[in-house]
Structure 1
Amino acid sequence: MAYHLLTYSLIFLPVVIALYQLCPARFRFVVLLAADYTFFCMISGKLLVWLLLATLVTYGTGRWLAAIPVRHSDLHGKALTRKKRGVLALGIVLILGTLVTLKYLRVFGVTLAAPIGISYYSLQAISYMTDVYRGTQESCKNPVKVALYLSFFPQIMEGPISRFSETADALYGGNSIQFENLVFGYQRIIWGLFKKMVIADRLAPLVVKVFSSYNNFDGAAILVGVLAYTMQLYMEFSGCMDIIMGSGEIFGVPLPENFRQPFFAKNAGDFWRRWHITLGAWLKDYVFYPISLAKPVKNLAKKIKKKAGFSVSKFVAPTIALFFVWLSNGIWHGPHMNYIFYGMYYFVLIVIENLTEEPCRKLVERFKLDTECIGFRIFQFLKLFVIVNIGEMFFRADTVATGFRMLRRIVTDFHITALAETNFGVDVPDLILASVSILLVFVVDVIHEKGISIRRKVAECKLPVRWSFWYAVILLVVVFGAYGSGYTIVDMIYAAY
């Protein structure tokens, strides 16, 4: 079962909603946990044991950390910190060890079945244990809360990566489903289905054909394939997030947003503060800050400051930390060099942005450039769009070498007139429909970028207008969704990570 399948939104989710609402409030957490494990087993079966083990490790590490000051009252200062650090390290090694064993040993020819969502719930487990160690999160005495936090069925497959303090109380609280949450939740689910089924799945055959046989296409056709993949990835991932966020909203669970109009970003760094937001936030809190504040890094920065001055040394700690952030980002996606290259690609870009930020600011001031004018904004958009598409090309390519060959062909063998005779494996009406739908999504993004909630605005309209609007969206999904005969079900891309 996957979020975009109608069996989820029309059967599984309504059944869970009904059972949850009919159950007494104090037992509703049981319904949710049963739904979580049922959903997990429908996809990964017996591999549920790995999720249960991760839950035991996470809960046990949290309780052990809380017990150290009590059981070892003779320890103080650095001795106490070392003891707690050892316990945290053990918990992280167990979680990461399982992740590496199940997901990354395939590089060495060892293929083991990995449960769905292991990359997501592993990061949530590490964040909880680390927060307990830091003292920013109280150790939870209730193992069921930890289990709910790691296994909530709407987010187990693709995130978002939440913190214990954000969702645990709402998951365990048993609050009644409010009519507004139910309506708003399903509205967001419908919008997510539109992006996934009408746009992303319609572009999938084109993307597969171009990337699997790029040697048969000229540069212009390859560029179309790259653009299509970028749109497919955005529409699918953000669409699935809409389905996930809508599902959480129904139960009153405040899941963190994972997208915020990324293509309206000003640069690569800003793009990643808007795209897969929770992964970036996790890497910032649990990789960037610990490394940039580590004693060896700070000592290195001090040495460089003495020799080269503060203007150079101030970049040392952030740059070293950024390297490990983007290396981790690449490795998290999978054990392939193209993912690591993808991470290093953004590392280089963001370091360049950091180094040139001050000179660019002075340049803008000197020539009194209007950075808010429409021309400058268009320039920023086009620059970012090129950067993102190059990155996604390497992300999707089978190998790094394949990515470079595709890029070279785009640059050296570009014939736009050849597009008229190119067979992309997708009918022209489908391409037109996808293009119009993409334009519609970007219009909605423009409105959201201005801080306007379309759902709220529609809710303020009279009943006939409200229902007409949402029936129209449902009709678009039913009529134009890429499903049924002639279409192959397209798996969720980020569920594989």
Structure 2
Amino acid sequence: MAYHMLIYVVAFLPATILLYQLVPQKFRYIVLLCANCIFFCSFSKGLIIYLIAAILVAYFFARWIEKIGEKKSDGQKAVTKAKRKVLALGIVLNLLVLVVLKYTNFFAKSFIDLTNVFGSKWKFAPIRFLVPIGISFYTLEIISYLTDVYRGTIKAEHNFAKVALYLSFFPQTMEGPIARFSETADDLYAGRGITFNNLKFGYQRIAWGLFKKMVVADRFYYMVSYIFSNYQKLDGSIMLVGAMAYTAQLYMEFSGGMDIIIGSGQIFGINLPENFRQPFASKNASEFWRRWHITLGTFFKDYIFYPVSLAKPVKNFAKKVKNVFGRNVSKFVAPTVALFCVWICNGLWHGAQWTFIFYGMYYFVIIFIETITEAPVKKLTDKLHINRESNVYKAFQSVKLFFIVIIGEMFFRAESLKAGFIMFGKIFTDFHISYFWNHRFKLHLDAYDLIVALVGVLVVVIVGFIRERKPGLRERIDRKILPVRWIVWYACILTVIFFGAYGSGYSVVELIYAGY
């Protein structure tokens, strides 16, 4: 069972809603916890043991940190040091499970490949691990929970069931968003009754998410799979089309999934954090990542970027650089070291492949260049009397960012780093528009499906443009007269029913981010 499946939308979710509403308010969080177990077991079965173990670590280590903090007689320094040790142990235990399950084969193969360069003849035999879906997401939530208890920004929860609910809330299980305890705890445990408005807005958002996932993303899947599997015999123009198609597929699926997830939470009065905010309206890569996978970015900012940039060794290194090269260079040291750590972690978090590590380093280099060239570019545009607020300049920035993003996604999706470079190279050495035109309907996407997908993209772009210019689109639609509201939402629902990529001729497309 997954969020975009019929069984979830018309059976599991309504049954949970009904039972939730029938139970007394103080027990409603138990209903959600039971729903979490059923949902998780529907696709991971016995692997729920990993989730239970992670919840136990989060619960007991948070209580342990809190208990140490209550020992006033030991002195502040001693207490802080003891708390830090417990925090480190709790984080290491959780990361150890993640690293063993997801990265053992990657590190072992990389080591063997390296030794083979020097003449060894070792062969790699991968170990088959069963990795629970969502482990990368709930591991980060545990780290944020323990760290926030350590910092004193939240209190440790003494009710084990409530900690379990926070870390396993079923809409978030597969793809996030990565919520902080302080953001969702009150809503999760309040047990508020389901209101008509929450039910209406929740299902409206689910319908919009299904439109993006089933009408657009799932259609591009077939083209993308064909192009990235047959890149060696295809033209550079097809490589570019494949990169654009994958970017569209990824955005439509992931943001559509977030719409379904956040809509599901909204039905129960639980406000989950937003994960996308018109990312392609950004001016540069830095802004793009403040709008794309927002909760992952804020996690890395709060729990890696700031701690690393403020770490004593980094500060000392910055001082040495200042003594040699001066302040203008040294001011970039701490942010650059922290940025490097963020993007290494970002790449590795997505998966145990060199393509993901390269993806992280790609954005590290891009954002680093943007940072150090910001002042010179401003001076240059001022000198040339270029208005940076003009529509032409903004269009230039958008086009530049678009190509930065699709090239990054090309490597992200590539079968290997070598394949990514071959595809990238073909764009410059073997590019023929005529080849694309002659093969445009031979890429496992016929004329009908291509038109439906492109119209779907256009609809999402228009809606995004309206939301960027004036937020609150759903609320404005809700204030319209009844026939207008019905036309808008029934059009969305009927489009999913009649134009969704399911049934005869289509296969079930797995969620991309559920594999991370």
State whether TM-score is above 0.5.
Answer: yes
Tell me which residue corresponds to 2:303: 286
CA deviation profile, 1:39-91 (whole Å, cap 9, x unmatched): 00101001111111111100111100111133x44421322221111100110
Trace 1:118-133 onto structure 2 (pairs within 5 A): 118-133=135-150
- For 1:78, the equivalent position in structure 2 comes to 77
1:350-379 C-alpha deviation (Å, 9 max, x unpaired): 110110111112223333321121111110
Q: Tell me which residue corresponds to 2:153.
A: 136
For the residues of structure 2 that align with 1:328 and 1:256, how far apart are their CA atoms? 22
SS at match of 2:170: coil
Q: Which amino acid aligns with 1:425?
A: H
- Which residue matches 1:454? 473
Contact between 1:69 and 1:75, CA under 8 Å: does it hold in 2? Answer: no
Per-residue deviation, 1:452: 2.7
* Secondary structure in structure 2 of the residue aligned to 1:485: coil
Tell me if structure 1 keeps the 8 A contact 2:477–2:485. Answer: yes
CA contact (8 A) 1:226 1:389 kept: yes
Q: 1:309 aligns with which of 326, 342, 349?
A: 326
Q: Could you say what the CA RMSD is over the residues aligned between the two structures, in angstroms?
A: 1.0
The aligned residue for residue 278 of structure 2 is 261
**Which whole-Å CA distance do the structure 2 matches of 1:17 and 1:128 have between them?**
28
Partner residue, 2:120: none
Bigger Cα displacement from structure 2, 138-147 vs 360-369:
360-369
Equivalence for 1:347: 364
Measure the CA separation in 1 of the matches of 2:76 and 2:28: 43
What is the match of residue 435 of structure 2?
Answer: 418
Q: Is the 8 A contact 1:102 1:114 kept in 2?
A: yes
Task: State, as a whole percentage, how many aligned pairs show the same letter.
Answer: 57
Q: Specify the alignment match of 1:335 in structure 2.
A: 352
Q: CA deviation at 1:125?
A: 0.4
Match of 1:444 among 463, 468, 485: 463
| Partner AA of 1:14 in structure 2 | P
Offset of residue 275 of structure 1: 0.3
User: Which structure 2 residues correspond to residues 355-374 of structure 1 after superposition, within 5 A?
Assistant: 355-374=372-391
State the match for 2:449 in structure 1: 430
Shift of 1:313: 0.6
Aligned to 2:292: 275
- The residue that corresponds to 2:41 in the other structure is 41
The answer to whether the aligner puts 1:183 opposite 2:182 as a matched pair is no
Give 1:238's aligned residue.
Answer: 255
Match of 2:340 among 313, 318, 323: 323
Question: What CA deviation, in whole Å up to 9, does each residue of 1:373-410 have, x standing for no partner?
Answer: 11111101110000000000000001111111001111
Establish whether residue 397 from structure 1 lines up as the match of residue 396 from structure 2.
no
Does residue 99 of structure 2 align to residue 100 of structure 1? yes
Corresponding residue for 2:86? 87
1:274 offset after TM fit, Å? 0.5
Aligned equivalent of 2:122: none
Residue 210 of structure 2 is aligned to residue 211 of structure 1 = no
Structure 2: distance between partners of 1:144 and 1:419: 56
| CA distance in 2 between partners of 1:312 and 1:219 (Å) | 40
Tell me what 1:476 maps to: 495
- Within 5 Å, give how 1:125-204 maps onto structure 2: 125-204=142-221
Q: CA deviation at 1:262?
A: 0.5
Distance in structure 2 (CA, Å) of the matches to 1:226 and 1:296: 40
Please state how far the C-alpha of 1:468 moved relative to its aligned partner.
Answer: 1.8
Q: Is the 8 A contact 2:69 2:80 kept in 1?
A: no
Does 417-426 or 47-56 show the bigger shift?
A: 417-426
For 2:326 and 2:485, locate their aligned partners in 1 and report how far apart those are by CA, in whole Å: 62
- TM-superposed CA distance for 1:186, in Å, is 0.3
Q: Which amino acid aligns with 2:398?
A: F
SS in 1 for 2:177: coil
Match of 1:12 in 2: 12
> Matched residue pairs, number?
496
**Does the aligned pair in 1 maintain the 2:142–2:167 contact within 8 Å?**
yes
Letter in 1 for 2:32: L
Q: Give the secondary-structure state (helix, strand or coil) at the position aligned to 1:154.
A: helix
Q: Distance in 2 between matches of 1:216 and 1:366?
A: 47
Q: Which runs of 5+ in 2 are unaligned?
A: 109-125
Distance between the aligned counterparts of 2:90 and 2:254, measured in 1?
A: 30
Contact 1:105 1:111 in 2 (8 A): no
